Amino acid sequence: MSKSLGIGMIGTGMISHVHVRAAKLAGAKIVGVLGSTAAKSEEYATLWQATAYTTIEDLLSNPEIDVVHVCTPNATHFSFAKLALEAGKHVVCEKPLATSLAQAQELAALAKAKQLVATIPFVYRYHPMVREARAKIQNGELGKLNLIHGSYLQDWLLNQQDTNWRVDNKQGGPSRVFADIGSHWCDLIEWVTGERFVSLVSSFSTVFNQRPVATRATFQAAAEGEETYTDVGTEDIASALLTTSRGTTATLTTSQVSPGRKNRLWFEIDGAKQSVMFDQEEPEKLWVGSRESMQLLVRDPSIGSSEQKRLSMLPSGHAQGYSYCFEAFVADTYATVKGETPDGLPTFEDGVRSAKLIDGMLQSSKTKQWVSIDP
């Protein structure tokens, strides 16, 4: 397939702009747009120089659309992705893949049966220094893993007046902070280490039992003035103790109410010989420790693992960040549509894996018991 891919965008919120930019940089053309209202469809179709649609059926009937990007609230992912796959379109679906394990499994099975490319943006895999950490583990430089620990902290829902559609479990699903950001951490750890979580015990807590009814754009500050409040059915904080199939212990804390933490995905993996530590807010560096010394490796396309070199788009010292990860993920998705096999592309099967962990976290948070996870 040598022609430029045609893209159908479903959703016009914050993350859709990231998708559109990545799609264009990968050489694709935005063909159609479906927003939550006809006015939204028209507004963003004009902005993105595409055709506005008012129904999913009309968008999917356009033969020029090869790949559909689903960038809508979580509760709609299943229906939109299923319709797109049934129409023979490749799909990029925001996570979580669905709000239940059964639905996620159905989507993955459908994509496999249709032999379509179906991916999910666990894009932190695409930090070059994450690839460097993975290469070190694969090469045996860390030795047997003894401990995994880390956190994913944000503060955008710190105040009671802060709200968003994610707070509403009817739109966001039964888990918020773990499904939204804890899923990223778990995907990253399992992919980097090659070890699967097989058991966990979790604790969920909700700081504010009520938040405003009115929704706001993701990461947008709360408006001042009187508000109508409603009950909150999802967690602000989720913590877990986990074990892997090889007996490694892991600890995780996730929060959307941690002052000063904007998007701090952090992990340390401690082996018998070395440790590695990565902080997403300082993604150019990888800390490597041993009993004798400590090193701070810096992203450099001239040295290191082949995957670090592939994903290092700029010279050392010229900072890369989240957008480069997303752009590389989308480029790898489109390359796969065209028949290539890039390393580390997260698919709907990874979305199913995430759904299993979300399911286990929810179950354990209610029973206060250890839960087994099918690896």
Per-domain boundaries in the chain: 6-123, 125-318+348-372
Above 70 in pLDDT, residue 221? no
Q: What is the mean pLDDT of residues 35-49?
A: 97
**What pLDDT band is residue 96 in, cutting at 50, 70 and 90?**
very high
Q: Return the pLDDT at 174.
A: 97
**Beta strands at 67-70 and 51-53: parallel, antiparallel or unpaired:** unpaired
Q: Return the pLDDT at 151.
A: 98
Above 80 in pLDDT, residue 220? no
Q: What is the mean pLDDT of residues 243-251?
A: 98
Side by side, which strands form the sheet with 67-70?
A: 51-53, 29-34, 6-10, 67-70, 90-93, 118-119
Q: Give me the percent of the chain exceeding a pLDDT of 70.
A: 96
Distances (CA, A) of 245 to 249, 274, 345: 10, 20, 23
Name the DSSP class of 229: E
Tell me the β-bridge partners of 199. Answer: 243, 372
Q: What is the mean pLDDT of residues 31-49?
A: 97
Q: Return the pLDDT at 104.
A: 98
Above 90 in pLDDT, residue 90? yes
Please choose, from the candidates 302, 256, 248, the residue with its C-alpha nearest in 3D space to the C-alpha of residue 275.
248
If you classify domain 6-123 with CATH, what class do you get?
alpha beta
Q: Return the pLDDT at 227.
A: 76
**What pLDDT band is residue 106 in, cutting at 50, 70 and 90?**
very high
Is domain 125-318+348-372 classified as CATH 3.30.950.10? Answer: no
Q: What is the mean pLDDT of residues 357-362?
A: 98
Q: Give me the percent of the chain exceeding a pLDDT of 90.
A: 94
What are the pLDDT digits (tens) for 129-144? Answer: 999 999 999 999 999 9
Above 90 in pLDDT, residue 41? yes
Task: Name the token pair of 117.
Answer: 């490319």
> What's the CA gap between 117 and 330, in Å, rounded?
12
> What's the CA gap between 259 and 282, in Å, rounded?
18
Above 70 in pLDDT, residue 224? no
Q: What is the mean pLDDT of residues 235-262?
A: 98
Q: What is the mean pLDDT of residues 315-335?
A: 97
Please choose, from the candidates 66, 71, 72, the residue with its C-alpha nearest in 3D space to the C-alpha of residue 89.
66
Q: Return the pLDDT at 2.
A: 59
Q: What is the mean pLDDT of residues 263-284?
A: 98
Distances (CA, A) of 150 to 274, 290, 294, 358: 17, 19, 19, 17
> What's the CA gap between 201 and 126, in Å, rounded?
29
Q: Return the pLDDT at 222.
A: 58
Mean pLDDT, the chain, whole residue set: 96
Judge whether 6-123 and 125-318+348-372 match in fold. Answer: no
pTM comes to 0.95
> What's the CA gap between 109 and 352, in Å, rounded?
10
Q: What is the mean pLDDT of residues 87-97?
A: 98
Half-sphere exposure of 37 (CA within 13 A, CB side): 3
Task: Name the token pair of 110.
Answer: 């459908």
Sequence-separated (6 or more) residues with CB below 8 Å from residue 81: 68, 70, 91, 93, 97, 98, 107, 118
What are the pLDDT digits (tens) for 248-260? Answer: 999 999 999 999 9
Q: Return the pLDDT at 216.
A: 67
